Amino acid sequence: MSDLAAEYSICPSKKEGGILGWVKVGQMVPEFEEAAFGAEPNHVVKCKTQFGWHLLQVLSEREPVKDIQVEELHSKMQDPVFMEEAQLIDVREPDEIAKASLPGFQVFPLRQFGTWAPDITTKLNPEKDVFVLCKVGGRSLQVANWLQSQGFKSVYNVAGGILAYSRKVDPSIPTY
């Protein structure tokens, strides 16, 4: 497919051998999405859009980031092996961390993304489980999705964040 795209395509993706990367619903024109999301992996399908004819091949499908409930995370954190093996990251800002935090979490503030993101694979192992925490789960989901897009194999978003952890697991953790 890449050779055909490089030779015949008029799409901007031509220079990458026609590879579009990960796409999600709402990103492409409806006819293209229907063909792409209806295609079996590794089968070539064709579709016509307002831009012309397209040949496409879905190479793989990405699973959505998994949520982990705070009760389950707490249970896992009681195991010393888990605490040694898991990669726990908190994406809240330093002033938030000063108000409330959980043991074992490395701090990667989302506002400082540009400073830690370029070499994230030297700081975290893409082959190991990663658990991402924020205040209520929104920022951590953004980072979890980004980590997955960078090739991290097993990424979990802490559902409800530290606020849920305080309310459901450990009320001694301050809320803010």
Residue-wise pLDDT for 51-68, tens only, equals 999 988 887 676 789 999
Per-block mean pLDDT, blocks of 10 residues, the chain (176 long): 79 80 82 91 90 85 87 98 97 98 97 95 96 97 92 95 98 96
Q: Which of 113, 157, 166, 112 is nearest to 138 (CA)?
A: 157
Mean pLDDT score across all residues of the chain:
92
Give span(s): CATH 3.10.50.40, the chain: 1-58
CA angle 34, 37, 40 (to 5 degrees): 120
User: What is residue 176's predicted lDDT score, i.e. its pLDDT?
Assistant: 95
Give span(s): CATH 3.40.250.10, the chain: 66-169
User: What is residue 62's predicted lDDT score, i.e. its pLDDT?
Assistant: 67
Environment class of 133 (CB within 10 Å of its CB; exposed 0-12, middle 13-18, buried 19+): buried
Give the CA distances from residue 76 to residues 19, 55, 69, 88, 174, in Å, rounded to whole numbers and listed in that order.
Answer: 39, 46, 11, 12, 21
Residue 89: phi and psi, rounded to 5, are -130, 140
CA angle 36, 139, 153 (to 5 degrees): 55
Q: Which of 5, 73, 133, 134 is catalytic?
A: 134
CA angle 121, 125, 128 (to 5 degrees): 145
Q: Which two tokens stand for residue 156?
A: 């979990």
Length of the chain: 176
Q: What is the pLDDT of residues 131-162, one digit of tens each?
A: 999 999 999 999 998 999 888 989 999 999 99
User: What is residue 173's predicted lDDT score, i.e. its pLDDT?
Assistant: 97
Domain 1-58 class, CATH top level: alpha beta
- State yes or no: is 11 an active-site residue: no
Q: Of the CATH numbers 4.10.320.10, 1.10.260.40, 3.10.129.10, 3.40.250.10, which one belongs to the domain with range 66-169?
A: 3.40.250.10
